[in-house]
Amino acid sequence: MFRYRWFLTILFLGILNLFGASSVIRAQASYSLSISKSVLADPGEVGVCLYFVLTTTDSMAGFDVSVKYNPELLTPTTAQPICRFQAFDYDLSSPGKVRITARRHVSDSTYLSPLSPGKDTLGCILINITSQDLLIDMETPVEFSEDPQTTDPDNRLITPDGGFIDEPELKLTNGSIFIRYPLYGDINDDGYPNTVADAIFFLNFLAGRQRLTPRQKANSDVNQDGVQASIADFIQLVKIITEN
């Protein structure tokens, strides 16, 4: 009896394993497109990079994206591919919005294979930061946007067969730029503002003997008028030092 029960148990497990093996379900494909988040920047800084990163389990042949931003704080200057694309176009004509279209292969050109599954940095937007005094540290979003007036999805991936993947199958993750409040008067960026060392450092810059980092340049707007590293700022710095 014991052997009989043991035989039935083995037989039952074998049948379950057989049916289980024949009914394996493939893992569902995943698609994700994200923008760099909390990128550190200083007022007046130029060429801050925001990257687009693709993570997918399938091959991809291109993408379309549309993002929105605060035009009072940010000024995009260009968009550039990181991966190789045979066609890469961008539109900065509408304040507060950037559109990018990229294709790995276009007709009448040498064939360029699709991107393989995995993680790829597709491209970036270069952005200039306002030099105006923001009064505090500020994180400003750069977000995927969808125009209800357009017939096709504004944010989508292009598949090798010419189809496309969009929301909700495509997961979109927004980004942002964190603009640090300057320490005005700390020209040499040593943590101590309005010192003689700052004045000497500033004077060397004005004489062409010293360069300023983006942080030092932000700190140099001593009179906080939005014009950085000016003669007026140097005069204001000397005034503060002598009055102290």
Strands 62-68, 156-158: pairing is antiparallel
**How far is residue 154's CA from residue 62's CA, in Å, rounded to a whole number?**
13
Question: Above 60 in pLDDT, residue 9?
Answer: no
Residue 149 banded pLDDT, cuts 50, 70, 90 = confident
Question: Above 70 in pLDDT, residue 230?
Answer: yes
Q: Are 234 and 203 in contact (CB under 8 A)?
A: yes
Question: Apex CA 37: angle with CA 147 and CA 167, to 5°?
Answer: 35
Domain spans in the chain, listed from the N-terminal domain onward = 31-179, 196-243
State the average pLDDT over residues 118-123: 97
pLDDT, residue 23, reads 40
SS3 call for 41:
strand
Phi-psi region of 86 (alpha: psi -120 to 50; beta: other; left: phi over 0): alpha
- For 175-212, b/e burial (b = at least 16 CB within 10 A) is bbbebbebbbbbbbbeeebbbeebbebbeebeeeeeeb
Q: Which CATH number among 2.60.40.680, 3.30.2130.10, 1.10.10.10, 3.30.470.20 corresponds to the domain 31-179?
A: 2.60.40.680
- CB-CB neighbours of 47 under 10 Å: 12
pLDDT, residue 5, reads 52
Question: Above 50 in pLDDT, residue 105?
Answer: yes
Q: Which of 108, 118, 109, 105 is nearest to 159 (CA)?
A: 105
Burial class (CB in 10 A: 0-12, 13-18, 19+), 217: buried
Tell me the pLDDT tens digit for each residue of 50-82: 999 999 999 999 999 999 999 999 999 999 999
State the DSSP code for 46. Answer: -
State the DSSP H helix or E strand holding residue 56, giving kind and residue range, or none if neither. strand 48-56
Q: Could you give the C-alpha distances from 93 to 24, 76, 154, 159, 195, in angstroms and in order?
A: 50, 10, 16, 28, 44
Going through 118-232 in order, the beta strands assigned E by DSSP cover: 118-129, 138-144, 156-158, 164-166, 170-173, 175-179
pLDDT, residue 22, reads 39
